[in-house]
Amino acid sequence: MPFVSRIEARAYSYATEQIDRVRTAVTNVYAEEIRQDLKIEMSKTKSHNQVPIVIVSAVLERMKDCKLTFDYLMKSFPQEDRLEIGITLHDRINERCVLFLRLDKQEAFSERITLARGPDIVGVKVYLRQYPRCVLDDAIALVRNQL
């Protein structure tokens, strides 16, 4: 049976946004019990128009914390988002058993986990692993069971 081995969350802080708010949105993707231990990374870049952008990201790799956060995420979605994830699950998991979620950044800042309907997102990648190699059908079954 697959397990969650890594969770990555990333958001962009544009020139019109406060970096601390974006940092809070990224942090709120993770289970409350582990937020204080998260290492948040920030890197500066520029858009094609030379407008400054800060990329705010966090990676979680401890298996126990990954499971805790995955459970938190799946339980936090409202019912309509759970249904949408279930319907679109084959499009959200790739052949390497990585689940892709786009969360609403403003809602995440307010500690509400919802799927994004617009471009202002926190991108989340959930890496599912299984030995000797991950079987896509097993990974899909794991996510469906959590929904």
pLDDT digits (tens, 9 = 90+) for 28-49: 999 999 999 999 999 999 988 8
- The reported pTM is 0.94
Mean pLDDT of the 108-112 span? 97
What mean pLDDT do residues 131-137 have? 93
Q: What pLDDT, on the 0 to 100 scale, is given for residue 1?
A: 86
Decide if 8 contacts 57 (C-beta within 8 A): yes
pLDDT single digits (tens) 112-132? 999 999 999 999 999 999 999
- Whole-number average pLDDT of the chain: 96
Q: What whole-number distance in Å separates Cα of residue 22 and Cα of residue 95?
A: 30
**Residue 75 pLDDT greater than 90, yes or no:** yes
For 74-100, letters b (16+ CB in 10 Å) and e give bebbeeebbeebeeebeebbeeebbbe
Q: How far, in Å, CA of 114 to CA of 34, rounded?
A: 20
Q: Kindly state which CATH superfamily the domain 3-146 is placed in.
A: Ribosomal protein L5 (3.30.1440.10)
* pLDDT reading at 91 higher than 90: yes
* Residues in a beta bridge with 16: none
How would you label 41-71 residue by residue, b for 16+ Cβ within 10 Å and e otherwise?
A: eeeeeeeeeeeeebebbbebeeeebbebbbe
Give the number of other CB atoms < 10 A from CB of residue 27.
Answer: 21
Where along the chain do its domains lie?
Answer: 3-146
Contacts for 75 with CB less than 8 Å, ≥ 6 apart: 146
